Amino acid sequence: MSPAVATNGIAKPRAKSAVPRFLHNPPRLFLLWLAISLPLVTWDFSYVLLRPHSMPGGRFHTPWIPYALYAQVDLVYGRKHYDDGEGFNPAQSTLNVAETALYLYYLYLVGFGSTGGVGGRKGAVALVCGFAASVMTFWKTALYVLIEVVGNYKNTGHNSPATMFWLWIVPNSPWLIFPAYMISVLGRELVAALAGEGL
């Protein structure tokens, strides 16, 4: 029950504040990162989940022509892994679908790039979604890299150092760097909200 306010001796319920106690302002860098990464991730998981049709010689290969080269750099994306029924890449791509859906829901909640904040429960849900999806992206990518490291570079060790750097490390690093940064930014905001700081 709302506290009463006495006016001329008559108790009236206190009006609820029109301003939500919690306000989430989507970080501009996060919105920029999503604008770049989501189309690329969608392109990637579509290639994997549409194999063999998306592979060289397949009827849908045209949008994924660059993967003919990348599949030679990272054999996880190649024909042998597909023919052998290796499960990691399709499993990872299925998780990519889930995290992409979570990011899109975040964008829906914050107004697809609106520079204004979103308050109340809606803002809180957006913050949790953005944080959770960033954690998913970071650790999924970390697992992808660690499998190569602890597996003695089984799928990438055939590359020259230059090829490895420019065609494997550089393309994959943003999916560690930006999610790690967003985990820090959104995590601090989440902790502050839970602690009641700035409310």
What pLDDT is attached to residue 184? 97
What mean pLDDT, rounded, does the chain reach?
89
**What is the rounded CA–CA span in Å between residue 91 and residue 161?**
28
What pLDDT is attached to residue 197? 75
Rounded to the nearest 5 percent, the helix, strand and coil shares of the chain are 65, 5, 30
Give the start-to-end residue ranges of the domains of the chain: 20-194
What pLDDT is attached to residue 18? 52
What does pTM read for this prediction? 0.86
Condensed to tens digits (0 to 9), the pLDDT of residues 5-16 reads 445 555 555 555
**What is the rounded CA–CA span in Å between residue 123 and residue 127?**
6
Q: Look at residue 149 and tell me whether its pLDDT is greater than 50.
A: yes
How far, CA to CA in Å, does 48 sit from each of 66, 82, 92, 102, 142? 13, 9, 9, 20, 19
What pLDDT is attached to residue 194? 87
Q: Which residue has the higher pLDDT, 3 or 132?
A: 132
What is the pLDDT confidence band of residue 84, given thresholds at 50, 70 and 90?
very high
What is the pLDDT confidence band of residue 2, given thresholds at 50, 70 and 90?
very low
Summarize the confidence of residues 75-79 as an average pLDDT.
95
What pLDDT is attached to residue 113? 58
What is the pLDDT confidence band of residue 1, given thresholds at 50, 70 and 90?
very low
What pLDDT is attached to residue 8? 55
Task: Please report, rounded to a whole number, the percentage of residues in the chain having pLDDT higher than 70.
Answer: 87
How far, CA to CA in Å, does 4 sit from each of 8, 15, 16, 21, 154? 13, 9, 11, 20, 70
Task: Please report, rounded to a whole number, the percentage of residues in the chain having pLDDT higher than 90.
Answer: 80
What is the pLDDT confidence band of residue 20, given thresholds at 50, 70 and 90?
low
